[in-house]
Structure 1
């Protein structure tokens, strides 16, 4: 069964709930890391680290996070090495963030993305593989680029670690 992690703050709660229902109906095993109750919300800066750590620890390959704009979740998630979050507002961008950038966290804004569109975006994100549908030369380039970016990321995290 396909596993996915999902989470939101108060502003992304209803988008998250709609997307979660759609994914469950499509056979995904969905784990919700919060907010579980809109009357007792968790802020984006508490939800995103929970999800990012689970991606970092390889408990999940992909996560979907929703806040007001998607930007707060992305900013916090991207503070974790190995986590590559993309703010997405279209199905096309969902496909490209996976095919070109190999993003492993999708973030969306509950103030921006309608629920049905959010479900379409989430499905495209989850169904698209890295380099899928791209020309051979572009696949080779992007795989090399991914390795280069990983080296940049690792150097950045090593240089910021206290001695």
Structure 2
């Protein structure tokens, strides 16, 4: 799979560890930044870059990390078509994909450790969306999003 990965400066070390781990699992990684832990980087900038590629069909799944994981989840979720899931345990990561077909996994580097983050990433990447009853629910979300977009003014 092609995995998009990004972080702000608060989660740089976790991003780097996840990048190495995802490559070890045999996936291609597209690193959207940030480049180090010293330069302050606003998380929306990174989240938008990672999430925007949904429209280009360039990335299969995305992983975003910041201090808590909350900011990147909110920012990525503002991009039409994106379902971002904040997960700090493996069960939530599995359900993010199996129940919600989440294209973005978010985590907080100040909330969980790197080893747990790796376990969460592995479960998320190994889980598949089966459709079924969940597909109907995802369609409801998509329909509401489209309704809002049609009513949006520039």
| Higher alpha-carbon deviation: 87-96 or 17-26 | 17-26
**1:114 matched to 2:149:** no
Alignment of 1:70-149 (within 5 A): 70-131=69-130, 139-149=131-141
Counterpart in the other structure of 2:23: 24
TM-score by length of 2: 0.95
Rounded to whole Å, the distance in 1 between the matches of 2:46 and 2:70 is 13
**1:152 matched to 2:144:** yes
Contact 2:5 2:63 in 1 (8 A): yes
Pairwise CA distance, 1:41 = 3.8
For structure 2, the residue ranges without an aligned partner over 5 or more in a row are none
Rounded to whole Å, the distance in 1 between the matches of 2:30 and 2:140 is 32
| Higher alpha-carbon deviation: 86-95 or 30-39 | 30-39
Rounded to whole Å, the distance in 1 between the matches of 2:98 and 2:153 is 31
**Matched pairs, number:** 154
Rounded to whole Å, the distance in 2 between the matches of 1:31 and 1:140 is 31
Indicate the RMSD between aligned Cα atoms, in angstroms.
1.2
Pairwise CA distance, 1:152 = 0.8
For structure 1, the residue ranges without an aligned partner over 5 or more in a row are 132-138
Counterpart in the other structure of 1:8: 7
Counterpart in the other structure of 1:135: none
**3-state SS of the aligned residue for 1:11?**
helix
Pairwise CA distance, 1:40 = 2.4
**3-state SS of the aligned residue for 1:6?**
strand
Contact 1:9 1:41 in 2 (8 A): yes
Rounded to whole Å, the distance in 2 between the matches of 1:47 and 1:103 is 18
Q: Which runs of 4+ in 1 moved over 3 A?
A: none
TM-score by length of 1: 0.90
Pairwise CA distance, 1:38 = 1.6
